[in-house]
Amino acid sequence: MKEQLFSILRAPHISEKSARLQENNQYVFEVVQAATKADVKAAVEGLFSVEVASVNLVNLKGKSRSFRNRAGTRGNKRKAYVRLADGHTIDVTAKP
C-alpha cells in the first residue's frame, strides 16, 4: 500500500511561490500524470498523517528547447496544490 502512495507523489515543489503558499497551509507537490485529486489526497494523508481540505491539479506543458541545432522539448509535468485542514502542517524540507 505504501509503495502505491509513494508512486503518486514524485517530490515537493520548492519555489518562492510555494514558500509563500506554505504560510497559508498550502503545499505543492509534483505528481505523476495519471494522478487524480482523490489519489493525491489519499497519498498525502497516508504518508504525512494529516487531514487534507482540498486538492487542485495543474498540468504544465514542457518547454521547447534546442540543443546542438536539434529541436526538442522538456517533459510535461503535473503539480498538485494541497491545502491542509487547520492545525495540520508538513515539513517538506526535512530529509526522511
76-85 residue pLDDT tens:
999 999 999 9
What secondary structure letter does DSSP report for 75? P
31-57 residue pLDDT tens:
999 999 999 999 999 999 999 999 999
3-28 residue pLDDT tens:
777 799 999 999 999 999 999 999 99
Question: Which position has the grid cell 515537493?
Answer: 12
What's the confidence (pLDDT) of residue 15?
Answer: 93
Global pTM? 0.87
Structural domains in the chain, CATH included, are 2-84 (3.30.70.330)
Helix (H) / strand (E) element for 53: namely: strand 52-60
**Intra-chain end-to-end CA distance of the chain, in Å:** 18
More confident residue, 68 or 17: 17
